[in-house]
A and B are shown apart, each in its own frame.
Chain A
Amino acid sequence: MATEPLTEEVAGTCVDAGGSAIGMPQLCFDWFPNQIFWLVITLVVIFLVLSRVALPRIAAILAERQGTITNDLAAAEDLKAKAVEAEEAYNKALADARSEAQRIAAEARAEIQSGLDEAIAKADAEIAAKAAESEKAIADIRAGALESIQVVAKDTAAELVTALGGEADAKAIDGAVDAQMKG
């Protein structure tokens, strides 16, 4: 720092002729008034700057931030409540829809069931009618067949008798065939 030599008259009790410190410069009382004077000015300036400008401003910034955070938290709380509400509504709608669907399904099932039952009953009746008809037809056919067999048997018997050289007696043959058929 003070390596450049100072002039002779400056070299006082604190600085030697070579510009070096004699002892501790901190204890040079010649400089005290100067240092204290400028220190007081400095402190007053800093105090005024801080108390008038800096500290109120920083306090305002911090308060504003706190306010913003509080507001945001409240808004978030609101939104959260709304979300919960919406979820409840959604769940309720879902449950409603489900029960409605079940109801519709049950209705449809019942309708189908009744239709089915009706159809089955109708089909059963038709089947029974058809079966009765068929039975009748079968009985007819059976009766017809018996008659035909008698006719065929009588014809055959008459042919056999003729072939054997006998005289076919229609009455005797009928009676014999009838007797055979009954047995």
Chain B
Amino acid sequence: MATETTAAEGSSLVFHPMDQFIVKPLFGDGAIAWYTPTNVTLWLFLAIAAVFALLVLSTSKRAIVPTRMQSVAELAYGFIYKMLEDICGKEGVKFFPYVMTLFMFIVCANFLGMIPMSFTTTSHFAVTIPLALAVFLTVTVLGFVKNGTAFLGLFWVSSAPMALRPVLAIIELISYFVRPVSHSIRLAGNVMAGHAVIKVFAGFAAIAAISPVSVLAITAMYGLEVLVSFIQAYVFTILTCVYLKDALHPSH
């Protein structure tokens, strides 16, 4: 990034928009091994806590007339359940816990990332790529297990003219393998970009004349980011459903 160059100019403006994404050990300054508890660990566990509070604690009373928090849990349940059922049909319902896990994790991690000074786990490709790869592998394995070689019919567009089919098959094949890439980069990219832009605006706040504009811009960006936080979780989940549908019903 432009960090070093701006700092080197010696002006009062110092931008470190990417520093918020640095992974640090929670205890001490040692190197980061695979098992080291880091700020990633902390915020991932906070996401677990958030999911637990939203879906388990809020429903502990099992009220027939729900409280506000229980309504939130029920709405989230109904929202994802209906999405999965609409897209994948009855067969898709058995993947509901899996899809719900993805949605609840992403939405909680995104919103936890909106807390100032927090660490946004979903802004890291190391988090979103495994999520997307897990979906990709699930869909591929499930497709072959359920349909056998008929799953390859996904790439053979039988409604197209014979001459076009090989060409379309290549395009379909490429688009199939690009899925996990777009799936993961879309989420991390959106979240990261918003957070970095907010940091850049925050850097401008050092100049007194610009600072009101900067604060306004941060506020506006924050509102946009709240929207993005939810929409990206929604998009990730609905794409998961669409991919699952391909595995369950591969015919075009």
Interface residue ranges, A against B (CB under 8 Å):
1-3, 6-7, 9-10, 12, 14-16, 19-21, 23-28, 30-43, 45-47, 49-51, 53-55, 57-62, 64-65, 68
Q: Number of B interface residues, CB 8 Å?
A: 61
Interface centre among A33, A43, A45, A47 (most CB of B within 10 A): A43
Q: Main SS of the interface on chain B?
A: helix
Q: Give chain A nearest CB distance to B142 CB in angstroms.
A: 17
Q: Give chain A nearest CB distance to B124 CB in angstroms.
A: 5
Q: Give chain B nearest CB distance to A142 CB in angstroms.
A: 108
CB <8 Å contact, A49 and B52: yes
Spot the interface stretch: B19-27, B145-153, B174-182, B203-211.
B19-27
Beyond A26-B21, A62-B78, list 5 extra A-B contacts (CB 8 Å): A34-B32, A34-B38, A39-B130, A42-B44, A50-B101
CB <8 Å contact, B74 and A36: no
Query: Which one of A24, A53, A61 lies within 8 Å of B74 (CB-CB)?
Result: A61
Query: Which one of A2, A27, A64 lies within 8 Å of B24 (CB-CB)?
Result: A2
How far, in whole Å, are A28 and B77 apart by their CA atoms in the complex? 36
A55: chain B residues at CB < 8 Å are 55, 77, 96-97, 100
CB <8 Å contact, A39 and B126: yes
Q: Give chain B nearest CB distance to A115 CB in angstroms.
A: 71
CB <8 Å contact, A35 and B19: no
How far, in whole Å, are A28 and B123 apart by their CA atoms in the complex? 13
Q: Which residue of B lies closest to A67 (CB)?
A: B64
B104: chain A residues at CB < 8 Å are 46, 50
CB <8 Å contact, A28 and B23: yes
User: Is B29 part of the contact surface with A, judged by Cβ < 8 Å?
Assistant: yes
A26: chain B residues at CB < 8 Å are 21, 123-126, 188, 192
Q: Give chain A nearest CB distance to B152 CB in angstroms.
A: 30
Query: Which one of A24, A40, A46 lies within 8 Å of B130 (CB-CB)?
Result: A40
Q: Given the known A-B contacts A21-B16, A46-B104, are A31 and B126 also in contact in the complex, defined by CB atoms under 8 Å?
A: yes
